[in-house]
Amino acid sequence: MWRRCFSSNSSSGASAAALKDKKWDAVVIGGGHNGLTAAAYLARSGLSVAVLERRHLIGGAAVTEELVPGFKFSRCSYLQSLLRPSVIQELELARHGLKLLKRNPSSFTPCLDGRYLLLGPDKDLNHSEISKFSKRDADAYPRYENQLENFCKFMDPLLDSPPPESLQHDSSFNERFKDRIQKSVFWSRILRQGLSLGQKDMVDFMDLLLSPAAKILNNWFETDVLKATLATDAVIGTTGSVHTPGSGYVLLHHVMGETDGYRGVWSYVEGGMGSVSMAVGNAAKEAGAHIITSAEVEQLLVVEDSGRVNGVLLADGTRVHSSVVLSNATPYKTFKELAPSNVLPDNFLRAIEYSDYSSGTTKINVAVDKLPQFESCKSSHRDAGPQHMGTIHIGSERMEEIDSACQDAVNGLPSKRPVIEMTIPSALDKTISPPGKHVINLFVQYTPYKPSDGDWTDSVYRESFAQRCFSLIDEYAPGFSSSVIGYDMLTPPDLEREIGLTGGNIFHGAMGLDSLFLMRPVKGWSNYRTPLPGLYLCGSGAHPGGGVMGAPGRNAAKVVLQDVKKQ
């Protein structure tokens, strides 16, 4: 396949007009970070690629938007750690503008009794801080971190390769033989890794995957505030509680990333999370990809006789032709809304329809005129201190509080005392707010998609919930509410409408054990291919799942290139 050069500027005018005049090698639906990643790898391999983004800017959930004049918010995703090192290195994202700002310390949990807990990459700090509550836990914590790090190393090869899915079409003897060899190599490698862990660690690994996070943390520690701080990683973005079986895996998922080689370290991105998408987009454009914004895809084009995808129909009536289409939309959006009726198997559609897209997540982006001052960690100066650098856990002093907040949502009510992860990226990133003022991200749980006591379209109801969150912060940092200049709130229906996240689920679908690896998005279709020949999934609804990882996009591109080579 020879290289084809096209204009690489993102636009919605002349670039869009050029779409219909060409037969593209690949079209990507959605300019989120995974779609852009797939486009970059395909373009680097010589394919002509068009990326079609519905909104006026690229990035999907990884975007930076100026919602209050002078304040630039990471509107949805707000921290970086999961982006695969292979993507960062291979696409040379640092050269394309990606700058990571490591946080130290990375976690601050204030308590209403006047105490607090700081945690981070500094082992001496961790031991000193945890020792304030329990010497036993301080000694156990390095062993806990070491075990999780070993499990993450075990998971790394699984994240960076397509699952060993069964052949999904009639094939020749040579294809079947080659497929068996590839699967044998894959499983042999996994077996060797398992043996290197040893039987005890493998049993502990299975225990982590299958158990509730509460059980895992109770077995390790005795300090309530430490357990609650760690437990937030096990429930973030889910509708489950710390007592939900399998929540231990979500905990592992959120510590398997790294920043500049430091395992489990989360960072801010200079300029906000949109800078991640811009860097990947720049790499894609440099390779020759054509990125068009304000280009909404309305339907997939399918050849009636063969059932093969041959392009997409835009909302403005433009037909864009391509023999390969990759969808960065959610599985539900892709197969239930974009695919024509009667082209997909009924059993496949049922599996997609009844997958779990529920969400308990609300994101509130706040502009403030001063830093919050926490009662438990008072400072004599107004500059940012250690307590402002990392994730600030509000309302999470005990795991019982997290569970209680979850039960409110199970009963159809937004949590009376929400679980809030507060971050203040402007404490490190001076490019996103005016001098002396700050950007604050609030990741809030739990908020049902359809509350039983009101409606998210009611401005009074929305304001009431936002004030509930601000008032809870006031308990720990008096005066926070009065510092608010303005805010933007995205409830689950808002995330669905604005960002395209079905049900408001930030992972494109739940990350339960029944929805991972060979069962993501559904059983039998885990290798990015779909029942429609020529159509591939490349978003977070595919393996290995959600978060700003880039792995689904990179892996999907690999599979597409294999198929193109065969053809």
Residue 17: what pLDDT? 67
Identify the domain containing residue 557 by its residue range: 14-62+273-355+510-566
Give the position of tokens 């961790």. Answer: 126
Cβ contacts of 196 within 8 Å, gap of 6 or more? none
Spatial contact of 256 and 82, defined as CB atoms under 8 Å apart: yes
Residue 16: what pLDDT? 60
Residue 147: what pLDDT? 92
**341-380 residue pLDDT tens:** 999 999 999 999 999 999 999 999 999 999 999 999 877 6
Sign of the torsion formed by the C-alpha atoms of 540, 541, 543 and 545? positive
Whole-number Å distance between alpha carbons of 478 and 134: 28
Residue 155: what pLDDT? 87
Split into its structural domains, the chain has a count of 1
126: in domain: no
H/E stretch holding 330 reads: none
Residue 10: what pLDDT? 47
Whole-number Å distance between alpha carbons of 567 and 565: 5
Give the single-character DSSP code of 91: T
Q: What's the rounded mean pLDDT across residues 437-454? A: 97
529: in domain: yes
318: in domain: yes
Residue 2 has pLDDT above 50, yes or no: no
Residue 15: what pLDDT? 60
Residue 5: what pLDDT? 33
380: in domain: no
**208-218 residue pLDDT tens:** 989 999 999 99
Residue 317 has pLDDT above 60, yes or no: yes
322: in domain: yes
102: in domain: no
Residue 7: what pLDDT? 35
Choice among 66-75, 165-174, 501-510 with the minimum mean pLDDT = 165-174
Residue 9 has pLDDT above 60, yes or no: no
* CATH number, residue 301: 3.50.50.60
Residue-averaged pLDDT of the chain: 93
**204-252 residue pLDDT tens:** 999 998 999 999 999 999 999 999 999 998 999 899 999 999 888 888 8
Cβ contacts of 254 within 8 Å, gap of 6 or more? 82, 233, 234, 236, 547
Q: At what angle do helices 213-220 and 135-159 cross, to 10 degrees?
A: 140
- pLDDT-based confidence at residue 196 (cuts at 50, 70, 90): confident
556: in domain: yes
**405-438 residue pLDDT tens:** 999 999 999 999 999 999 999 999 999 999 999 9
Q: At what angle do helices 399-410 and 224-235 cross, to 10 degrees?
A: 40
304: in domain: yes
